[in-house]
């Protein structure tokens, strides 16, 4: 296999002054982890942004891969996510510390609430979100989490959090992963109202797995644009997301796919092609979404 050129990745500023790499590598619990591929991404491709979650069950393995890579911890951006089963003030703080221990790190660069709905009895979703967010605020204050955020929150969830708590989320991550019931962001589903709200509030918008479960790869319009730039459909969609200012976290367990996905900074989509891709929004959902979560 030809080695990929080392990635030179731009960053996006967070409201607290930190800089998050605009491109990263995602993992998942459904066959979404490969030790050799993670090491390859870090050592041969220059990836410095890794996204995981307790839900994925690969924290210990991922920590081992990071250590094997030899990349200093200070040079990495590591995102982890808190599962709803650990919501609540005490439970959330314990879960974060446990995840740090599992990965063999002393802090996370970004720690997210994974989903707006609580599985804990006795409280409304809003009450539990607020209680849990206050735990994340404490973790941030204690520097166990350099930045804190949410995942799959809609405008109304974010508005309530602003009213109930003191720190506005630094990031709102949205997914296209069919196993975790996510808000989607890809050419076929563009939640522009949510994107614009986040930007107005200083919340960085982050998208995970931007390929619509592979549905974008054989779309005739995307294939035509890919041919124009002599790139793959995946590269076109990742580039489209990045040019929209969205922190983009595709995932793969294949080294050749990681290599391909990393090669998105050597070209620029013309405005007409950006507009064409934007016009593909047909309201299609390839996953569940949190629309009905109160």
Distance CA 263, CA 261 (A): 6
Banded pLDDT at 59 (limits 50, 70, 90)? very high
Spatial contact of 157 and 129, defined as CB atoms under 8 Å apart? yes
Neighbours of 121 (CB within 10 A): 6
Q: Is 56 a catalytic residue?
A: yes
Among candidate residues 56, 87, 185, 208, the one labeled active-site is: 56
| Residue with token string 């607290």 | 16
pLDDT, position 162: 95
pLDDT, position 213: 56
Spatial contact of 110 and 142, defined as CB atoms under 8 Å apart? no
CATH homologous superfamily for the domain 11-278: NADP-dependent oxidoreductase domain (3.20.20.100)
> What's the whole-number average pLDDT of the chain?
87
Pairwise pLDDT comparison (277 vs 187), residue with the higher score: 277
Q: If we measure between CA atoms, which residue out of 268, 9, 16 comes closest to residue 147?
A: 16
| Residue with token string 């409280």 | 123
Is the pLDDT score of 272 beyond 60? yes
pLDDT, position 188: 52
pLDDT, position 123: 84
Its pTM stands at 0.90
pLDDT, position 179: 30
Give the pLDDT confidence of 158-208 residue by residue, as tens digits.
999 999 999 999 999 986 433 333 445 555 555 678 888 999 999 999 987
Banded pLDDT at 118 (limits 50, 70, 90)? confident
Q: What are phi and psi of 186, to 5 degrees?
A: -160, 175
Domains of the chain: which residue ranges?
Answer: 11-278
């Amino acid at each position: 296999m030809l080695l990929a050129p080392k990635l030179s990745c731009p960053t996006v500023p967070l409201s607290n002054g930190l800089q998050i790499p605009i491109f990263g590598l995602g993992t998942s619990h459904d066959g979404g982890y490969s030790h050799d591929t993670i090491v390859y991404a870090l050592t041969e491709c220059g990836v410095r942004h890794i996204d995981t979650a307790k839900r994925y069950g690969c924290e210990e393995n991922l920590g081992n891969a990071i250590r094997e890579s030899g990349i200093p911890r200070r040079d990495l951006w590591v995102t982890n996510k808190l599962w709803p089963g650990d919501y609540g003030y005490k439970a959330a703080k314990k879960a974060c510390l446990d995840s740090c221990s599992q990965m063999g790190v002393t802090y996370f660069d970004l720690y997210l609430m994974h989903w707006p709905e609580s599985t804990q009895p006795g409280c409304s979703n809003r009450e539990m979100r607020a209680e849990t967010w206050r735990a994340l605020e404490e973790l941030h204050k204690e520097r166990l989490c350099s930045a804190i955020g949410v995942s799959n929150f809609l405008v109304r969830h974010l508005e309530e959090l602003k009213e109930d708590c003191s720190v506005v989320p630094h990031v709102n991550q949205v997914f296209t992963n069919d196993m975790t019931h996510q808000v989607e962001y890809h050419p076929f589903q563009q939640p522009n109202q949510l994107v614009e709200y986040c930007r107005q509030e200083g919340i960085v918008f982050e998208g995970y797995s931007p390929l619509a479960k592979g549905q974008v790869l054989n779309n005739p319009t995307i294939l035509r644009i890919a041919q124009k730039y002599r790139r793959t459909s995946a590269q076109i969609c990742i580039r489209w997301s990045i040019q929209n200012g969205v922190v983009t976290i595709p995932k793969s367990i294949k080294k050749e796919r990681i290599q391909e996905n990393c090669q998105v900074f050597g070209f620029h989509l013309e405005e007409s092609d950006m507009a064409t891709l934007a016009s593909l929004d047909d309201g299609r959902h390839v996953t569940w979404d949190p629309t009905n979560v109160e």
